[in-house]
Amino acid sequence: MKKSLLFVMFFAISLFSAELAPTKYSDAKAQIGKGEVVMLEVGSIYCHACKDMGELLSKAIAQKPSRKIFFVDVGSERAAAEELKIRMIPTQIVYDANGKEIDRHIGGFTAEGLNTFLAKHKI
């Protein structure tokens, strides 16, 4: 009985705290310039605003699983922050299908703002 209760509690907590899981920068970078628009969400697993963005992005991906959105945790990958020229987190970077950076936004979004940003770039 206790195991069942623990399982249900764990499931409920994970259901309501969906966040975007970190992707190694090298793996995310390998997806850029492959014929699709790619967005990098650059932040840290310890950053409150980044966690909020992760939740919003998880919902956006659930609505459209084909979206190429990757979370890069610069808290654990400091070299990525330097290469990406990150000054503040969270930062969203959008690359076109050819791999050219076409937009960069610093800070978080509201749900509406994120939807507008994703629609603008056809993500």
> pLDDT tens digits, residue range 30-67?
999 999 999 999 999 999 999 999 999 999 999 999 99
Confidence (pTM): 0.85
Going from the N-terminus, what domains does the chain have, and what CATH number goes with each? Answer: 19-120 (3.40.30.10)
Does the pLDDT of residue 9 top 50, yes or no?
A: no
Which of 19-23, 96-100, 102-106 has the weakest average pLDDT? 19-23
| Contact call for residues 42 and 89 (beta carbons, < 8 A) | yes
Confidence class of residue 1 from pLDDT cuts 50, 70 and 90? low
Please say whether the beta carbons of 80 and 25 come within 8 A.
yes
Rounded CA gap, 98 and 25, in Å? 18
Using CA atoms, how far apart are residues 24 and 48, in angstroms rounded to an integer?
20
11 — pLDDT class (breaks 50, 70, 90): very low
